[in-house]
Structure 1
Amino acid sequence: MSVLRIALADDQALVRAGLRALLERQGITIAFEAEDGQALLDGLARTPVDVVLSDIRMPGIDGIDALLQLRARGDATPLLLLTTFDDSELLLRATEAGAQGFLLKDAAPEDLRDAIVRIAAGDTLLQPVSTDPVRARYQYHTADAPQERFSEREVAILRLLAGGYSNREIARALFLAEGTVKNYVSTILDKLDTRDRTRAVLKAITLRVI
């Protein structure tokens, strides 16, 4: 795999310096740094990268607003949002805005590197989210409830999807073939009448499937 190039956005210079040192030791190149969302947008217009690593809370244009503007101008660069707050509302906003990942800043260094590599490869990484705020935000009517019950295996796979695990990782965890997991995921999406994994997880939480 070629060296990953990332953009690093955080309004605190010390945090950026720490992340730069940490990631460069792990073989990741910092293409440029930005102190706020506007600087990030300007930098990405000039310098393409593999992944954007951005704080959520920044003055002016924050990480989520920058993400919305990126997507609006057709820039699909994968974006991993960092936050010091275990805030379900932020995770929901980030997901709706089109973030590929959401990670707490106190994550272990190897977890951060793994998240960047996975997102660059096309995975989605959402840390498990506390369920009550999700249920409060997404109220589904009885008519939205799944028409079929979920098997124990499907519930187990849904829980792993909620943790951001890929099909390959789920297969390894449950001792299944990767193709079998893919079939299970398709069935789960059909039962929940959703078109992607993130919406399936949010709906499953709301409907108390998981």
Structure 2
Amino acid sequence: MTAGSQAPRIALADDQAIVRAGLRALLERQGIKVAFEADDGRQLLERLAATPVDVVLSDIRMPVLDGIATVRELRAHGDTTPVLLLTTFDDSELPLLAAEAGAQGFLLKDATPPELYDAIVRVAAGETLLQPVNTAPVRSRYQYHDDSPPSERFSQREVAVLRLIAGGYSNREIARAMFLAEGTVKNYVSAILDKLDTRDRTRAVLKAITLRVI
């Protein structure tokens, strides 16, 4: 954040009190104000109606109303408060589901404190964040036969598209998740294939993993 700017005020939702206490302590040490806590999505919605915040930080897996269902209800009622969803589950479907529901961010709970702080600040500023697909297991068991370097450097947006391709997402799904036109995604995919000198998405992903592009 820029010097002199205020840290975001957040709402914190998680069904485990000990997790909420840990997150609150962690965030308040970094200057982020926790306006209120909730132990499920329904309670979060009720409290949010009376206490507006800059960002909602919510677990995905909660009783009564889970994080994704909570985001859907918020958006259905016209509430545009940015939502950052947390989970312990490394599930490649969750970033897409979170984005489709209207969440601005998705982060695993094993993120470092600076990563969490940065995600909250960026989401509060209007950015959309999707956590990268974990490619380490693939890299450990497979090496693509062609390890020649790409012809050009990849842009940040191209790397983001590559990560979603690695997660098995179609162009249409990538477009929805990244708030882009489907034609724009097709152009990114074509540029990625050209840079990696491959003819299909599977080979592109495997080569990108081998070269540590993603």
Partner of 1:36: 40
Question: For 1:110, which of 108, 114, 119 is the aligned residue?
Answer: 114
**Retained in 1: the 8 A contact 2:14–2:20?**
yes
After TM superposition, what 4+ stretches of structure 1 lie above 4 angstroms from structure 2? 151-156, 160-164, 193-196, 198-205
SS at match of 2:37: strand
Q: Deviations over 1:58-106 (max 9, x none)?
A: 0110000000000000000000000001111122211111111000001
Partner of 2:84: 80
Higher Rg? 2
**Distance in 1 of aligned mates of 2:22 and 2:185:** 33
Residue 195 to residue 11, structure 1, CA distance change in 2 (3 Å): closer
Alignment of structure 1 residues 1-210 onto 2, 5 Å: 1-129=5-133, 152-153=152-153, 157-160=157-160, 194=175, 197-198=178-179, 204=189, 208=201
Residue 162 to residue 17, structure 1, CA distance change in 2 (3 Å): farther
Which one-letter code corresponds to 1:112 in the other structure?
L
SS at match of 2:93: helix
**Retained in 2: the 8 A contact 1:101–1:119?**
yes
Which one-letter code corresponds to 2:178 in the other structure?
R
**Distance in 1 of aligned mates of 2:33 and 2:162:** 29
Which one-letter code corresponds to 2:158 in the other structure?
L
Superposition TM-score, scaled by structure 2 size = 0.67
Structure 2 unpaired stretches of 5+: 136-150, 165-173, 193-199, 206-214
Count of residues in correspondence between the two structures: 163
Which one-letter code corresponds to 2:109 in the other structure?
K
Residue 195 to residue 96, structure 1, CA distance change in 2 (3 Å): closer
**Retained in 2: the 8 A contact 1:11–1:58?**
yes
**Distance in 2 of aligned mates of 1:3 and 1:155:** 29
Shifted more, 12-21 versus 84-93: the winner is 84-93
Superposition TM-score, scaled by structure 1 size = 0.68
**Distance in 2 of aligned mates of 1:104 and 1:125:** 12
**Distance in 2 of aligned mates of 1:156 and 1:26:** 27
Q: RMSD between aligned alpha carbons?
A: 3.1
